[in-house]
Structure 1
Amino acid sequence: MELKKNKKADLNRNRGLYFITGLVLVMALSYIALEWKTYDDPTKFDTGLHIQDELTEPVPIILPNTPPPPPPPIAPTVIEVTPDDDPVEETVIESSEPDPKEEILDVREIKTEEVEEDVPVSFIVVEDVPIFPGCEEATDKRGCFQTMMKKHIEKHFRYPEIEREMGIQGKVSVLFEIQKDGSIGNVRMRGPNENLENEAARIIYKLPKMTPGKQRGTPVRVPFAQPIVFRLQN
């Protein structure tokens, strides 16, 4: 017996239509899922700024052209009245007029003593230069003084051994004063080495006592500068 197919019972007849319909439904559901938006309920949250609650101090209100407060009233001064029966001490004002019994001294009668200032006078400008021993009869006492100073330095000169071995040399500037009594004082040195300075001071302190310099016939202190050169011979 031959089986016959029913055309209405053919499942493949509308397969394309079913496929397209399902595809459209899937795309529609995907689009709705992607575009779906939800919003929170505004009644559940407080959207106020509450600025007033954050202020810790009240803001003062300043009105323009406000006149300043009036000054406090000044208490009246209380004046105490002294009864006439109370004794009142009188203030005695002494007269500034001179007493005729006192002796009035004339300014011209007061003797003043002149105080001589102990100011040193330079060797160049002093009237009478200090006299080096041996220059008493010299005509040019300044030139004789410098010549004798040179001879004195050459006679007492001694090079320090340590500086000689180390090759230290240089010039020591010496400044000293010839005192009012002819002695040597206030010696100051400046040089490249302490031992060289000490040697220069030793030479100066060996200077003999001199005749002091004079200004207007009065002995004065006379400063004198003398360089001493320490140089090694090659």
Structure 2
Amino acid sequence: MGLKWKKPEADLTNYYTLFIEIGIVVVLIIFLTATKMPIRQVQKEVDLTVEQEVVSMEEIVQTKQLERPPAPPRPPVPVAVPNDAVIEDEILDISADLNLAEPLELPPPPKTEKEDKEEDFFVVVEQMPQLKGGLSSLQQCVRYPEMARKAGIEGRIIVQFVVNEQGKVEDPKVIRGIGGGADEEALRCVKLAEFEPGRQRGVPVRVQYSLPVVFKLQN
């Protein structure tokens, strides 16, 4: 089989450059034509005459809680009373004669006690009571309680009382104590004490008086 030789005019490879140049020119023409064309902007007209939807806002009213008055009490239930019940009338005897000339006997007035009793003693007088033998005689009467001794209790006790017209002690009471049985011992000794009574304008009177009783341990 013999080889066929192509003619130089039939070889398309010789026209590649020409085809490329023609393509570029066509593209440029199309581009320039497109850029020179007028661009119309389509604007959508809005018809304002059309009634738009109206949105209404409903106002919320704040509710108030009403206080209701309490219900009235129920009326009492009537109780049936038999008709045959007979109510007896009380007969008052007013036949007694009333003599206004005679004096009327009034009931005695109620007995009332005085709430505030007047004090029957003096606090300060011209001549105050004097303890016979002095405080040393009172201290010699004191016996130290064993409970206070074991507990190591010591101190001063004040006893208040009333010295009557005979110089005797009445109603003694401890107004400041130390405990441990010492208060009771101080009262015992004060009750045995004797005084020269106090005097007001030379007359013996009842006088309120106070005495100290000392408890002290000896080392």
Question: Which of the five TM-score ranges fits, normalised by the shorter chain?
Answer: 0.3 to 0.5
Question: Which has more radius of gyration?
Answer: 2
Structure-1-length-normalised TM-score: 0.42
Question: Which of the pair is proportionally richer in helix?
Answer: 1
Structure-2-length-normalised TM-score: 0.45
